[in-house]
Structure 1
Amino acid sequence: MKEEQRPDIYGQVVFCDDVRQESTGKCIYIGVYNSNLMIVNGGFPATLSRLSFAISVFQKREIFKPQFKIRIFVPGDPDDVPSIEAEVGEGVADSMAGEIDKTADALGLPKGEGLRNYVHVFTVMQFDNFQIKSTGFIKVQAEIGGKRYRLGALAVGSPQAKAG
C-alpha cells in the first residue's frame, strides 16, 4: 500500500502538566493528557496549577514562513477570539531552515529526503493558574500566511458538569 504524502503544513501538541528539558536536550513530559482532561474535584470554572503545551509545527521548506502565530482557545471562547495568542518565529533570519541540512548531515541522512524537506519549529508554552470556564475543548491552532491549521485539541469535562 502506498504511503500518503505529508501535507505542506502540519503539527501536533502534547498537553501536559509540565515540560522539562534534560542537559542532553531531550524533553521530559510530566502528566501527559491523552485525549481528555477530567476536573474531578469541583466543577467549573476550574483552575489548573499549571498547563503546558509542547507544540511542533512542520512546514515544507519551499514555503516556510518563519513568523507565525499560535492560537489557544479554551471552552467558552468565540470561534475567532482565542484566550491566548502568541507570535512564534526565528530571531536570526534563515536560522531554522539553515539548521535542517546541518542536522541531517550529522545524522547521516541522504540528501533530498525526509528531514531535509521540512522545517520543524518547536515551542513550549506553560501557564500557571490556567483558567477553564466550562466543559468543551482546549484547541490549539497555528496561523501561518493568513491560513489556520489545527494542531490539537483536548476535551475538558467534569462529573459535576454532567450531573448538573
Structure 2
Amino acid sequence: MKAGEGYVIFCEDIRAEAAGRSTIVGVFSEDIIFSSDFPNTMPKLGVQSNVYVDALALPNNMTLRVEASWQEEPVAELEIDLSDEIKEHMLDDYPSRYPRDPLSTFDSVPRILSIVTVFPLFEVPQQGMLRVVCNYDGSEYLLGRKLIRAAAASRSEEQSDESESILIE
C-alpha cells in the first residue's frame, strides 16, 4: 500500500486502555443492520481509521472526513496536524524495534497512523452509506464505506419484490 491509503473498522464502541491500547467492541463485518425501520439511533458508533504513512515523508497535515449519504455536510471532518514532534515520535525507535533488512536502505519508514472517532447517539434518519475519506498530501483516498440498512422482513418477501433490492457497487 502507498502512503494515504488505508482501511477502516466500523464498530459499536472503541475504548481507550492502558499503554496506548484500544478495545474494539462489536465490529460490523458486513452491513450495519437495524432490526426496526428508520429513523434510528445507535447508542455509539466507533470508527477506527488506519492510514499508511511514510514517517520520513509526512505532509504537515491531513484531513479525515466521515460522510453520510443522507446529508450534504460531513458527519465529521478532522484536521490532523502532523507536527515535527509527531514525526519524531514515529521515528523514535525505528529501526531498533525492527530487524535490520540488509537489502533496505531505510529510504522510507512505513507506519500506520490510527485515528479513533466515537460518535455518541449516532442518528440515522434513513438507509444509506457511510464513507471515510482521507486527504493526504493533496490526494483523496477512500479508506472504507459501510451500508446502513433495516433488516429484511423475510427471505421470501425479499425475493418476491426485487424492485426494492439495493445494489452496492
- On whether the aligned pair clears a TM of 0.5, the verdict is yes
**Is 1:134 aligned to residue 126 of structure 2?**
yes
Larger gyration radius, structure 1 or structure 2:
2
2:68 to 63, 74, 78: 74
Q: How many residues in Structure 1 have an aligned counterpart in Structure 2?
A: 153
- Deviation at 1:152? 0.8
Matches within 5 A, 1:1-164: 6-40=1-35, 42-78=36-72, 81-90=73-82, 93-110=83-100, 112=104, 117-159=109-151
What TM-score, normalized to structure 1? 0.78
- Deviation at 1:82? 1.9
Distance in 1 (CA, whole Å) between partners of 2:138 and 2:125 is 29
What TM-score, normalized to structure 2? 0.76
Deviation per residue, 1:116-155 (Å, 9 max, x gap): 5224322211111101122221110112233211111111
CA contact (8 A) 2:4 2:135 kept: no
CA contact (8 A) 2:2 2:52 kept: no
CA contact (8 A) 1:75 1:134 kept: no
Distance in 2 (CA, whole Å) between partners of 1:15 and 1:107 is 30
Distance in 2 (CA, whole Å) between partners of 1:70 and 1:77 is 17
SS of match in other structure, 1:57: strand
- State the match for 1:3 in structure 2: none
Deviation per residue, 1:21-63 (Å, 9 max, x gap): 32232221011111210011x2112110100111111223454
Identity of aligned residues (%): 20
Cα RMSD over matched residues? Answer: 2.6
- What 5-or-longer segments of structure 2 have no aligned partner? 165-169
